[in-house]
Structure 1
Amino acid sequence: MKEIIKINLDNEMDLILAHKRCMKIAEMCGMPSSFQTRFSTAVSEIARCSIAKGKNSLLVLGINVIKATQKEIIAIITDTVDLKNCNPEAFNYASKISGNIEYSYLNNQSTTRISQPVASPGLLSETKIKGFIDYFKYEPPLSPYDEIRKKNIELIALSEKLAESENKYKQLANTIPILICVINERNNVLLTNESLEHYLEVPILAFDKKNLSNFIHPDDIDGILEGWKIAKSKRSEFLGETRIKYGLSYIWHLISIMPNKAEDGTFNSWLVYFVDINAQKMVVETLKDNTELKVIQRELESANLKLVFKNKELEQFAYIASHDLQEPLRKIMIMLSRAGEHLSEDQRKLYYFDRITMAAGRLSNLITDVLNYSRIDNKKQIFEEVDLNQTLSEILGDLSLVIEEKNAIIEIKSLPTVLGLDTQLRQLFYNLVNNALKFNTAVPVVTISASNINEDNNVSSPENYHIISIADNGIGMDSQYSGRIFDMFQRLHERDQYGGNGIGLALCRRIIENHNGVINFTSKPGEGTIFWIYLPKK
């Protein structure tokens, strides 16, 4: 059905309007006068019953297009009351007059449908039906009541549209992920959207320090209030950043305070928006940190290049100095030897020949040790597989005279093959075995073995290392020296007790560091020492 006009059935004036408009539609459809009267009277009879007995009654007049050659005028009266049960006589009378009346009452809704076929359906085109709608839309009032009624209908329609629009805007304001509130000139909060209400643990009643401290970071409150003060005085917008409390943390938001202007340009309230910018803030901070990190990295690279250059200079200096020092020292030792050939034993003691010769020898050894220490550098060498069993066998051959002299007992258990530099590893184990023989007042007993147990408890993930131990029954040392035993020129005993320059263990540590390993020891005075060597498996 194509609706032409609606009429609310409230009083007798509406009954008159209903009758006249039924007559007019029937006339516009080309019905004879008798059919116009019969249709309008039937509709009026039911309309009178609705006004008298009904509630919330509505009459809708329209044209039903069944097909191009079959059309009818339709009057539908709806009500929340069972009209036919209230006044069956009225329905019987309307049925006699019209003959085309249907009635139903379902779900507390009564519907009365009265129809009248159009005699010349071909004359009712779509354009003409639209003309009917426009006619009643712009029809002059039939009476002052009709004019007032039309105005009321228009006002109601406008009010409904306004309410619908307000609901849409309210729904939009409540669903968007922006925290919104409205404040007046006296700092009172007039309105908040649901997003802000759900976000806050305590309702915000005023835009002041006391209320803001419930959810704004303490360091940001003064800045917001100062911006709000300037915005009020200049009638301008304020933009800033702040941190809003969310649980136990704070989330960065963009805050915007702007005048809430009316259509005439005046305003008496302010809109406050909080927009989450925490993700953007974190990106900016990350980029900033990354930039600072790159600067630090460049500075470290520059410093490293300088350090490499200085180390090269130091290495060259150590080599040149050692070579240049050794040459005159050798000449001094040769001349001392020749000069002493013609001296008696008393004369040699008188002129301290033996002491001078020993001092020159110690100086020569010291220069050699310093040169060896400066040459420890694995950057130019390639790691290869080194069989430690063969290495220890060769070292024992080098130390055979000392071993025989002291009747030392050396026990070597099966050792692994490791990745490393053969010359450096040979120097490492030579120094440690030599120390075990040297720092001993009894018959030396030295045990060299491999283990998978991290007995010194100072290395994490021992499964990633070959663990080699060198245990002796020597003089041992106190744990108080553990922090400096591997330092250059560190001696725990007088030179006349035990020889050496205090470089051997420093050289061992440097070799181990070149192999990305670890060296530790466990020891007690008088009970011997165990050195633990950790060499990476990969």
Structure 2
Amino acid sequence: MPDSKSLKKSPDIDDRFRMIADTAPILIWMSGIDKQCDFVNKGWLDFTGQTFDSMLGDGWEKCIHPDDLERCFSIFSSHFDKRQPYELEYRLLRHDGEFRWMCDKGVPRYETDGEFSGYIGSCSDIHDAKTLNDVLEEKVQARTAEILRQTQELTRQKEFSDIVFNASIDVIVVYGKELEFLAVNQAAKKMYGFTDSILGKKILEVYPNAENGQGHRDVLRALSGETVHNLVYKSAVADVYFEDFLIPLRKDGEIYAVLVVARDISHRIQSEMELKDLNKKLTSQNLDLQSTNEDLESFNYIASHDLQEPLRKVNMFAGRILEKDGEKLSEQSKDYFDRLTSATSRMQNLIQSLLEYSRMNSDDIRFAKTSLNKLLKEVKSGLEEVISEKHAVIENDDLPSISVVPLQFQQLLHNLVSNALKYAKPDIAPIIRISAETVKIEDRGNREFWKISVSDNGIGFDPVYKHKIFELFQRLHGKMEYEGTGIGLAICRKIAHIHHGFITADSKPGEGSVFNVYIPVKIKL
């Protein structure tokens, strides 16, 4: 740093002033009437680390922060021209490379004769104070912004809480320590006809008859610190069933209020009462059904043994009579015997079909992935004699393996193929085709189904009967024309239903028939 001995002397500055200026604890500068610097003191040089000569004229400008220079010169120049004192703040480059905030005060100076001779000014370091001021101001601004944010957040939360509080379908009431109403939501206002005028009033003031009632006692229990929960609470005021909670509200460990949340469960209670009544009725009906099932089991036993035994004996003795005395009988008697044996056979077939139908129940369902090719092969094997006799042709695609009850589905295929063979055209070989494909059915929620089709070239039937043929004992032809009990297709429909599917039929007289069985690809068990 240059010392006072190295400073060049300005001709207009006497030694006494120079000595005083150099020992001053502030930075001092002077300018002439040309606005150019003609003196800086030792404090200025020590602070900036510059030489005296480098500061003269406009050399001082290089020590001013570039962002402050234009403003400094503008203020200095405007006040200089008006010969007015000024004060400004700017950043001055210290010898260590740090810009420090300075407070610069300048005043005009005059000679003893009153002639203007320039300006003299002093600079003091206010960096620490200004920085602290800025920090404090930033903190104040930040704190103010935070308080504003918190206020806005609290306002938003209150608005949100009010929306939730009033949007709840539950009745919500808050009671104070003196059992006064502190808050009621819209559901409570609607349920009890409250208005805001109720706030501040006490329970017994509004409902004098409620004293020592359950609601009154529950609030007192909650104020004592107990959380109360009633699964079913009958309001004496609104004649409504509630499930309610009474929750103590604490602040700093002290109970100051009770929150009551109550949900109207009147419909549920009414439904439960109706359900109880229905259960009672279903329990008379279950007993009746049990009795019916027992009767049905007895019928099955009787049909399996007692009913069929006499028929077997009739057939047996009729056969023996024909065998022993057949030649002695007249043609009319022989005809009677033929009719007798035919009738007993039909009766046996009917009883057997009824047994099969009654045994089709959901208790014995066991689904398994099964090859339809295998089932069809077994069906054809069982009908081999009829197929050969009628020279029938049975065609089929390579059928898929699907989830079915194997024995039941084999019975379904047997009945459909047997039906096609039975109703073949005279003197025309039956052609029966079985195919399978997946389809989506719109009126069943676009679910995917297996469509198993059995078509034939038989005699067909009038399409007006396409629904009726699946009913029990429905026959479209005389019993003498075609054998049968009228139960086969009813069994097919029942099997389809057990498989969560359905069966349809399409036909025209003389043009054959198509039976379509629809089984869900994914069966919901």
Report the TM-score when normalising by structure 1.
0.46
Report the TM-score when normalising by structure 2.
0.47
